[in-house]
Structure 1
Amino acid sequence: MKVTARAVRSGTWWAIEVPEVPGVFTQAKRLDQVAGVVADAVATMTGADAAAVEVQLVPAMRPEVQHDVDEAIRLRREAEEARASATEQLARAVDDVLREGLTVRDAALLLGISPQRVSQVART
């Protein structure tokens, strides 16, 4: 059974509503506790097995806070993609430079990395 846990901050707790199951309201101190308390509450109200309850967490934040969270996630994803691209390009550059007959030390100086890093990324 799939349910949505709509969590709203209430003091130091999260107040949680499950729209798919009327009457299911619960609370949790931390967001990482939501799935467990919601599964238990849904199981109590419906007789379903708590282990079979799949919970999608939807925390409600003030719009400016949600914007900052979304932007941080977007930028982190872009940074991870850029890092993967840079790693791949570095490996190509190391291979190209070594195929030109440069020593590992010359390749390191040329690429601005250590000789050990040259050896680590070399594929040829």
Structure 2
Amino acid sequence: MESRSPGEEVKSICPIVETIKIIGTESRLIVLRYLFDGPKGFNQLLRLTGLSSKTLSSTLKFMEESGIVERKVVATRPFKVEYTLTQKGKDLESLFKQMGQWGEKWVLNRGS
């Protein structure tokens, strides 16, 4: 049995909190929503999401570093950058569907 000093905090990792840290900003949720439909270019995401270029760029960079988005350079003239979901990112789709169902029931319909 592990002994602790009185008042010493026990820190454990909560999977829900860790997930929220990755997907929990509005810009990340918006980008994910559009990438569930398939690969998108930067300019296409810019138009669809309504985010500023700076916000979109930093959002995609964070999502890439988190392993949920993959950035591919397509060898065309001019070259094109395309963003796709990794398997880790695709696995979030069922969570999004559940969140949408909850929102329809409890937010849009005010719980009636």
TM-score of the superposition, structure 2-length normalised? 0.30
Does 1 or 2 have the higher relative contact order (CA < 8 Å, sep 6+)?
2
Q: Which has the larger share of strand?
A: 1
TM-score of the superposition, structure 1-length normalised? 0.27
> Quick check: which has more Rg, 1 or 2?
1
